[in-house]
């Protein structure tokens, strides 16, 4: 058996080891520590500045505290400490000025860059300067409208690298919050209001985004991706998106299209046709994940959706909608196996040519 003292040392050791081991966990594409654009870079720099100043204050204060504790300790043989107490400095003007001025300087060092960044990131860019995108948060999915391009999509947000993206953020039901940690801090989507923010991605890549405001049962599952590609690839993506024809190739897919028109189209759009209650499924066959959370193995640029996973995920979504994303607004649509398979075949074909 360990003694009490030994076991508390063990706990401390365990905590220290886990700190080092667990800091290695997590997805790089969602890390604030790996910024991929100017906004996130500046925000990380501000965090580092704040932490440096705090560490400096803690170290200096603890050093003084340790020094005083040691210097004025009760020594062996001293009966009464009062005789050894040093000269008192209460009310000393010089000291008081010093310990007022130092924190003031530290706060100025913090405030100047923070406020400068705040105003810089508050700026709204016009359509000549930035790509304009309206983001609507819904329980529990994201809608992206490219205002000047006539494109509406969901879950996967394609953007060009090296260009500012001006966002107009709102929500259809409750408050959500739009957050892509590697590219910028969060901004709320409020129903009935429009918040603005901008960001820019400098590197190509797939960056994970999250809803950062508790919005209901599946809040934690309200994920999306920002897919940053070169301006040339983006142009091609937009052109292909608009040119996409809803022309199923196989007999099964044609049957799926008919089922879709019957049971799904009132809520989901494909191209121009269809309802707006659910996400647009125009390019559902290209999605990195189904419903934002069932991975199709498309984690890097250039990678294609894994067809087997797509089928399994789609089957899972159509069969277990309510357990995959509790409280979602789709619910379970009764389908025979034949209808489901035809639908999956149809949806898998809704994608851009590579």
Q: Tell me, what DSSP letter sits at residue 131?
A: E
Interface residue with ligand HEC, options 268, 285, 342, 350 (CB under 6 A): 268
Residue 170 CB, nearest distance to Cu ion (Å)?
13
Give dist(CA 76, CA 117) in Å, integer: 56
Note whether 226 binds ligand HEC by CB under 6 A. no
Q: Is residue 171 part of the contact set for Cu ion (CB under 5 A)?
A: no
DSSP string over 54-85: HHHHHHHHHHHHHHHHHHTPPPTT-S-GGGG-
Query: At 145, phi and psi to the nearest 5?
Result: -110, 120
3-state helix, strand, coil in the chain (%, to 5): 45, 20, 35
Establish if 298 lies at the interface with ligand HEC (CB under 6 A). Answer: no
Residue 171 binds to ligand HEC (criterion: CB under 6 A):
no
Residue that is written with structure tokens 């520590």 in the block: 33
Query: Contact, 282 vs 243, CB < 8 A?
Result: no
Any contact of residue 279 with ligand HEC (CB under 6 A)? Answer: yes
3-class SS of residue 103: helix
- Which CB sits closer to ligand HEC, 132 or 282? 282
From CA 312, how far away is CA 262, in angstroms rounded? 23
Among 29, 36, 132, 155, binds ligand HEC (CB under 6 A): 155
CB nearer to ligand HEC: give 110 or 265: 265
Q: Which is nearer to ligand HEC, 43 or 341 (CB)?
A: 341
Asked whether the beta carbons of 283 and 297 are under 8 A apart, the reply is no
| 209 binds ligand HEC per the rule CB under 6 A | no
Strand partners, 180: 184
Helix segments in the chain, DSSP class H: 4-22, 38-71, 93-122, 231-243, 251-263, 307-324, 337-348
User: Tokens 């800091």 belong to which residue?
Assistant: 23
Q: If binding is defined by CB under 6 A, does position 140 make contact with ligand HEC?
A: yes
Using the rule CB under 6 A, is 291 a contact of ligand HEC?
yes
Cα gap 57→103, rounded to integer Å: 9
Is residue 215 involved in binding ligand HEC (CB under 6 A)? no
**141 forms part of the interface with ligand HEC (CB under 6 A):** yes
* CB of 151 or CB of 215, closer to Cu ion: 215
138 lines the binding site for Cu ion (CB under 5 A): no
Choose the one of Cu ion, ligand HEC, none that binds residue 176, judging by a C-beta under 5 to 8 angstroms depending on kind: Cu ion
Quick one: which of 222, 227, 284, 330 contacts Cu ion (CB under 5 A)? 222
- The region of 6-14, 48-56, 114-122, 327-335 touching ligand HEC under the rule CB under 6 A is 327-335
Residues of this chain that interact with Cu ion (CB under 5 A) are 176, 211, 215, 222
Query: Could you list the residues that contact ligand HEC (CB under 6 A)?
Result: 140-141, 154-155, 263-264, 266-268, 277-279, 281, 284, 287, 290-291, 317-318, 325, 328-330, 333, 335, 343
């Amino acid at each position: 058996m360990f003694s009490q003292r030994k076991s508390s040392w063990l706990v401390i050791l365990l905590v220290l080891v886990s700190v080092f081991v667990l800091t290695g966990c997590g997805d790089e594409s969602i890390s604030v520590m790996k910024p991929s654009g100017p906004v996130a870079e500046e925000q990380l720099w501000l965090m580092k500045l704040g932490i440096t100043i705090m560490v400096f204050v803690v170290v200096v204060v603890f050093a003084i505290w340790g020094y005083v504790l040691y210097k004025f300790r009760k020594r062996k043989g001293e009966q009464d400490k009062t005789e050894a107490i040093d000269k008192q400095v209460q009310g000393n003007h010089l000291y008081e000025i010093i310990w007022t001025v130092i924190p003031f300087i530290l706060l100025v060092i913090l405030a100047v860059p923070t406020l400068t960044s705040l105003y810089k990131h508050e700026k709204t860019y016009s359509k000549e300067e930035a790509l304009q995108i309206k983001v609507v948060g819904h329980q529990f999915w994201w809608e992206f409208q490219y205002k000047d391009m006539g494109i509406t999509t969901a879950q996967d947000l394609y953007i060009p690298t090296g260009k500012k993206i001006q966002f107009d953020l709102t929500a259809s039901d409750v408050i959500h919050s739009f957050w892509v940690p590697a590219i910028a801090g969060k901004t709320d989507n409020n129903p009935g209001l429009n918040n603005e923010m901008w960001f820019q991605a400098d590197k190509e890549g797939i960056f994970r985004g999250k809803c950062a405001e508790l919005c209901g049962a599946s809040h934690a599952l309200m994920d999306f991706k920002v897919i940053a590609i070169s301006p040339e690839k983006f142009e091609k993506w937009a052109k292909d998106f608009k040119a996409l024809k809803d022309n199923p190739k196989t007999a099964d897919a044609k049957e799926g299209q008919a089922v879709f028109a019957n049971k799904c189209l009132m809520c989901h759009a494909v191209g121009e046709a269809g309802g707006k209650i659910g996400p647009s499924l125009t390019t559902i066959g290209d999605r990195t994940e189904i419903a934002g959370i069932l991975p199709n193995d498309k984690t890097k640029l250039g990678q294609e959706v894994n067809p087997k996973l797509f089928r399994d995920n789609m089957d899972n979504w159509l069969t277990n909608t309510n357990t995959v994303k509790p409280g979602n607004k789709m619910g379970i649509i009764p389908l025979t196996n034949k209808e489901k398979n035809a639908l999956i075949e149809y949806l898998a074909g809704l994608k851009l040519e590579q």
